[in-house]
Amino acid sequence: MKSTSKFLSLILRHKPQIVGLQLDEHGWAEVDELVCRVKGLDRAKLEKIVAADEKQRYSFSADGKLIRANQGHSIPVDLELAELKPPEILYHGTCESFGSAIIAQGLKKMSRLYVHLSSDVETAEKVGRRRGKPKIFVVESGKMFVDGFKFYRSVNGVWLTEHVPAKYLKERF
Ligand code: HQG
């Protein structure tokens, strides 16, 4: 199930074309078409994956006919997220070796549509640990907001913004 979930994330965030699927401008895919195009998948299995996903990465539309990833896209989709006032402080977890580039350039969205931030340090630590020894940055999101930067929160609770200039970052030792 985990590997199907990973595959779903690849299709719904990055490369729908590998199964010949098209997402609409808001990132939605037709459930019937998706289950048809992914070997071994059916609606019941898909519902189980979505419900069991530990990060709640996917959502069905209200009528259950469409599915999309809640965040993490590299393809341009408009998730219609409302701008929100962030908490004073957010966290970003990365790996130690990216630290000096981040201190110099700030946090860039790299291949994704947004920089991903979390409201708790534990989540940032988990994200950072994916690639080795973690390094945590504290983001002065409250100051950024006052300075006019836009923030969004995905339905699964990830804070998103386009860029965090270095002056709003503090290393957490
Ligand atoms: C780093 C996973 C050098 C950034 C996670 C990160 C998250 C820089 C990497 C979600 C940089 C991009 C997103 C700069 C940023 N110089 N490196 N100036 N600015 N970086 O995967 O935040 O399981 O695109 O620190 O748990 O790691 O897929 O972003 O290390 O929630 O649902 O460039 O993906 O969730 O990597 O992860 P990513 P991320 P899922």
Tens of pLDDT along 105-155?
A: 999 999 999 999 999 999 999 999 998 999 999 999 999 999 999 999 999
Q: Looking at ligand 1, which residue's alpha carbon is closest to its atom 30? A: 94
60 within ligand 1 shell (Cβ under 6 A)? no
Q: How far apart are CA 29 and CA 86, in angstroms?
A: 30
Q: How far apart are CA 11 and CA 8, in angstroms?
A: 5
- What global pTM score does this model have? 0.95
Write down the residue that tokens 């408009």 correspond to.
78
57 within ligand 1 shell (Cβ under 6 A)? yes
Confirm whether 32 is domain-assigned.
yes
Confirm whether 81 is domain-assigned.
no
94 within ligand 1 shell (Cβ under 6 A)? yes
Confirm whether 130 is domain-assigned.
yes
Query: Quick check: helix, strand or coil at residue 31?
Result: helix
Q: Are residues 98 and 164 located together in one domain of the fold?
A: yes
What's the gap in Å between 95 CA and the centre of ligand 1?
Answer: 9
Confirm whether 77 is domain-assigned.
no
- Domains contained in the chain, number: 2
Query: Quick check: helix, strand or coil at residue 59?
Result: strand
98 within ligand 1 shell (Cβ under 6 A)? yes
How large a percentage of the chain has pLDDT more than 90?
A: 95
Q: How far apart are CA 110 and CA 105, in angstroms?
A: 12
Q: 92: how many CB neighbours lie within 10 A of its CB?
A: 22
Among 39, 69, 99, where does a domain finish? Answer: 69
Residues spanned by the domain of 98? 90-172
| Residue 173 pLDDT level (bands cut at 50, 70, 90) | confident
CATH number of 33's domain: 1.10.10.970
Confirm whether 75 is domain-assigned.
no
Q: Are residues 23 and 97 located together in one domain of the fold?
A: no
Q: Are residues 105 and 146 located together in one domain of the fold?
A: yes
Say yes or no to pLDDT of 52 above 80. Answer: yes
107 within ligand 1 shell (Cβ under 6 A)? yes
Sign of CA dihedral 123, 124, 129, 134: negative
- pLDDT for 3 equals 84
158 within ligand 1 shell (Cβ under 6 A)? yes
Say yes or no to pLDDT of 161 above 90. Answer: yes
Q: Are residues 21 and 60 located together in one domain of the fold?
A: yes
170 within ligand 1 shell (Cβ under 6 A)? no
Q: Which of 7, 71, 110 to mutate to test the pocket of ligand 1 (most atoms within 8 A of CB)?
A: 110
Write down the residue that tokens 């409201």 correspond to.
119
Q: Are residues 51 and 101 located together in one domain of the fold?
A: no
Partner residues linked to 19 by β-bridges: none
Q: Are residues 61 and 110 located together in one domain of the fold?
A: no
Q: Are residues 43 and 101 located together in one domain of the fold?
A: no
Q: Looking at ligand 1, which residue's alpha carbon is closest to its atom 36? A: 110
Q: How far apart are CA 135 and CA 55, in angstroms?
A: 21
Confirm whether 79 is domain-assigned.
no
Are the C-beta atoms of 128 and 94 separated by less than 8 Å?
yes
CATH number of 121's domain: 3.20.170.30
Q: Are residues 108 and 142 located together in one domain of the fold?
A: yes
What's the gap in Å between 79 CA and the centre of ligand 1?
Answer: 19
Q: Are residues 34 and 106 located together in one domain of the fold?
A: no
